[in-house]
Amino acid sequence: MSRAPSTDRSAKDLPPDGFDDQGGFREDAAEEAQDHAQADDAPEIDFDFEEGAVKAGTEVIRRFWTTLPTSPGVYRMFDDKGDVLYVGKAKNLKARVGSYARGQAHSNRIARMISQTAAMEFVTTATETEALLLEANLIKQLKPRFNVLMRDDKSFPYILVTADSEAPQIVKHRGARRRKGSYYGPFASVWAVNRTVNALQRAFLLRTCTDSYYENRTRPCLLYQIKRCSGPCTGEIDLADYQGLADSAKSFLAGKSNAVKDRMREEMQAASETMEFERAARFRDRIAALSAIQGTQGVNTQGVEEADVFALDEQAGQFCIEVFFFRNFQNWGNRAYFPKADRTMTPDEVLASFIGQFYDDKPAPRIVLVSHAIEDAELLAAALSSRTEYRVDIHQPQRGERKNLVEYAQRNAKEALGRRLADTASQGKLLTALGQSFGLPAAPRRIEVYDNSHIMGTNAVGGMIVAGPTGFAKQHYRTFNIKSEELTPGDDYGMMREVLQRRFKRLVKENPRTAREAGTEGGVQETMVETAPESDTLPPWPDLVLIDGGKGQLDAARTALEEIGVTDVSLVGIAKGRDRDAGRETFFVPGRPPFKLPPRDPTLYFVQRLRDEAHRFAIGTHRAKRKREMVKNPLDEIAGIGPSRKRALLHHFGTVKAIQRAAFEDLAKTPGVNAATARAVYDFFHTQT
């Protein structure tokens, strides 16, 4: 990896028409070298105020170019603050970087990027395929400003039928596949997985309980009584028969749904002929459950067993990519993505970069269908194939069922983007009205709302929600466990001071504001242009902070910010009306008398939505913390006691109280517990009393 070459060459040292034969830029390599740069066919920059900066950036790139090898690799461009501007891959690093150093024929986007470049870093790879994979990984990690960025990067849920216990369990699964068993997915949403698992429970009567719950049952649970489980925990079904149910479930999920349903119909008919009507009714209900799964899948396929469909739509300089998942001839849902990309980029560039990031942490199917032809489709397919045990094909279908699937996905992308644009326009009007109501110099781009939740001071938490031009930004939500031991239980003012000080101390440390950013009238707008070039990118600092509380809470918040030197953030307190009725809120703004908004003002409804979301988030976090405390096991506090030893102790003694009363000799006789662990458990309970 290189960062600061010592060699310096002026512009006259570079040949005007290309570079030398020792790995330099050549005219016949122009098409290859401008894979990412959009150079030769783009217009020259047409803004004079950046001309000097572009020349300075070009000189920086030229200095790095002189020492580059001709091997494949990945390059990164940095600004003067050390932030990554762009990550790109190259088959020939010297040729690719040389395309930026030509000093002409760059698009506005590339010219802006060059003008801000202060340093570069490089990583060489053995092949271009490795470079492509590394590029996608770095883009997801670093989120460079000038790359296509995939947002909403949550992992997809799968259905897991376990194989590490005597009675297989069917569960929802996310993350790494470390547990032994059969995985089916991905599903587009948790809702789709939960619906499918519930239906499979009714159809195959598989257990969903944890292993510890299963091993400690002495009688069947409620799920057995309502015919959602066959009760293998207490021997209500033979384990061999239960394994047969699990195999049938796996066959259904693997695409053999018709064969499974036909077998059930045969058994239902046989039971009916032998006058076993209750047994026949059970098979009837199981068939109905399977039919319900297939009936809610929408579009299904006849000739496409396994494929992902990517369809892109562009409107008003924004992009939407709709992804459909087809597995085992079944549609397992779809999800819309709105990647961050410069409006000058072409759809195929956006789609190619998105797909590379999409499969960075998940396996690709055998077929990937796309709505736009991708220039490096073969290279991308080879990169995806290198991570799987089979060949991955990427192509744009021209006819037949596959073409219909892409068109269907593209219609969904167009509709999703249309809804998003409409919502954004409506949100923009509300933000403008909100800024006017509270006397802000401009419409706020980032709003933070704070609320606390506790019961008599116990399990106290603070919650922060964030909203912006596209609505609630849940990836920016934060929770604060109240840590101060000096607070009186139930001191809401003290809790608010702690939350705001912790939030803004970190903000000042990580994103200090310059004088220009913290300026008066007009400074806010200048900051927005600098820190948020995209219309839906949130700046790090809030333009408006809403406090769920009246004058007392507002004064506590203002004092907390003044103590750390933050005096230029707009604060507003929201006091609930008499009887806590919505619509009678009183607003407190420093320097203004308290006021109310008209009862049917859309701005009032907007503020109520913000406050209610903060309340929902805070109380939900509090309840989760309280639940964890209620079910907390003292054994969890003992060093060296993991799930296996905890299970062994509970299985041997039955309860924690029995473990607490046990003698050291009895603890040491527990299967799976050695003498050192027994001593740790004995000492823990006897030193606590």
Q: CB–CB of 395/355 below 8 Å?
A: no
pLDDT at 541: 92
* 239-253 vs 257-273: helix crossing angle, rounded to 10: 140
pLDDT at 561: 92
pLDDT band at 637 (very low <50, low <70, confident <90, very high): confident
pLDDT at 286: 75
DSSP-derived 3-state class of residue 424: helix
Beta bridge partners of residue 149, listed in sequence order: 340
The answer, yes or no, to whether residue 34 has pLDDT greater than 60, is no
| Same domain for 346 and 268 | no
pLDDT at 648: 82
Q: Which of 422, 223, 227, 224 is nearest to 316 (CA)?
A: 422
Distance CA 280, CA 283 (A): 5
| Same domain for 638 and 613 | no
Q: What is the mean pLDDT of the chain?
A: 80
* CATH number of domain containing 85: 3.40.1440.10
Residue 152 lies in a domain: no
pLDDT at 571: 93
Tokens standing for residue 147: 């790359």
Distance CA 222, CA 494 (A): 46
Residue 174 dihedral angles phi and psi, to the nearest 5° = -130, 155
The DSSP letter of residue 470 is T
DSSP-derived 3-state class of residue 154: coil
Q: What is the pLDDT of residues 148-200, one digit of tens each?
A: 888 766 778 888 999 988 999 999 888 778 889 988 878 877 877 888 888 88
From residue 393, how far is each of 186, 307, 366, 370, 378 by CA, in Å? 18, 10, 6, 11, 8
pLDDT at 39: 34
Residue 574 lies in a domain: yes
Q: CB–CB of 417/166 below 8 Å?
A: no
Q: CB–CB of 443/431 below 8 Å?
A: yes
| Same domain for 312 and 395 | yes
| Same domain for 177 and 137 | no
Q: What is the pLDDT of residues 596-635, one digit of tens each?
A: 888 888 888 899 889 989 999 989 888 887 777 666 667 7
Tokens standing for residue 223: 């799920």
pLDDT at 467: 92
- For the chain, the C-alpha Rg in angstroms (whole number) is 31
| Same domain for 27 and 120 | yes
Q: Which residue has the tokens 């950046």?
A: 50
| Same domain for 243 and 126 | no
- % of the chain beyond a pLDDT of 90: 22
Count of structural domains within the chain: 5
| Same domain for 475 and 454 | yes
Non-local (6+) Cβ contacts of 413 within 8 A are 311, 312, 313, 320, 321, 322, 336, 371
List, as one string, the DSSP characters of 230-269. Answer: --GGGTSS-HHHHHHHHHHHHHHHTT-HHHHHHHHHHHHH
Distance CA 623, CA 639 (A): 27
Stretch 578-595: mean pLDDT: 79
pLDDT band at 375 (very low <50, low <70, confident <90, very high): confident
Q: Which of 244, 327, 242 is nearest to 293 (CA)?
A: 327
Distance CA 250, CA 505 (A): 53
Q: Would you say the C-alpha torsion 348, 353, 355, 356 has a positive or negative sign?
A: positive
Non-local (6+) Cβ contacts of 47 within 8 A are 108
Residue 426 lies in a domain: no
pLDDT at 292: 63
Distance CA 382, CA 371 (A): 19
Stretch 44-50: mean pLDDT: 43
* CATH number of domain containing 310: 3.30.420.10
Distance CA 519, CA 528 (A): 12
| Same domain for 365 and 237 | no
Tokens standing for residue 99: 């395309």
Stretch 299-310: mean pLDDT: 78
Distance CA 598, CA 205 (A): 56
Task: Compare 393 and 40 and report the one with higher pLDDT.
Answer: 393
Residue 384 lies in a domain: yes
| Same domain for 673 and 652 | yes
Residue 433 lies in a domain: no
Torsion angle of C-alpha atoms 644, 650, 653, 657, degrees rounded to 10: 130
Sheet holding 330-337, edge to edge: 330-337, 318-327, 306-315, 367-370, 393-395
| Same domain for 617 and 497 | yes
Helix ranges, 170-304 (H): 190-204, 211-215, 222-225, 239-253, 257-273, 277-295
* CATH number of domain containing 674: 1.10.150.20
* CATH number of domain containing 567: 3.30.420.340
Which of 606, 627, 648 is at the close of a domain?
627
Q: What is the pLDDT of residues 384-435, one digit of tens each?
A: 998 888 899 999 999 888 999 999 999 999 998 888 888 888 888 899 999 9
Q: The domain containing residue 645 runs over which residues?
A: 634-688
| Same domain for 25 and 123 | yes
> Per 3-state DSSP, what percentage of the chain is helix, strand, and coil (rounded to 5)?
45, 15, 40
Q: What is the pLDDT of residues 510-557, one digit of tens each?
A: 888 754 355 443 333 333 333 333 445 688 999 999 998 888 889 999
Residue 521 lies in a domain: yes
Which of 402, 418, 434 is at the close of a domain?
418
Tokens standing for residue 422: 């409409």
pLDDT at 86: 93
Poorest-pLDDT segment among 106-110, 273-277, 454-458, 615-619: 454-458
Q: CB–CB of 227/205 below 8 Å?
A: yes
DSSP-derived 3-state class of residue 309: strand
pLDDT at 255: 66
Stretch 23-35: mean pLDDT: 38
Which of 243, 271, 295 is at the close of a domain?
295
pLDDT band at 300 (very low <50, low <70, confident <90, very high): low
The C-alpha angle 162, 268, 200, rounded to 5 degrees, equals 25
Q: CB–CB of 321/416 below 8 Å?
A: no
| Same domain for 557 and 493 | yes
Q: Which amino acid is at 685?
A: F
pLDDT at 449: 94
Q: CB–CB of 187/170 below 8 Å?
A: no
Residue 429 lies in a domain: no
Residues in the chain: 689
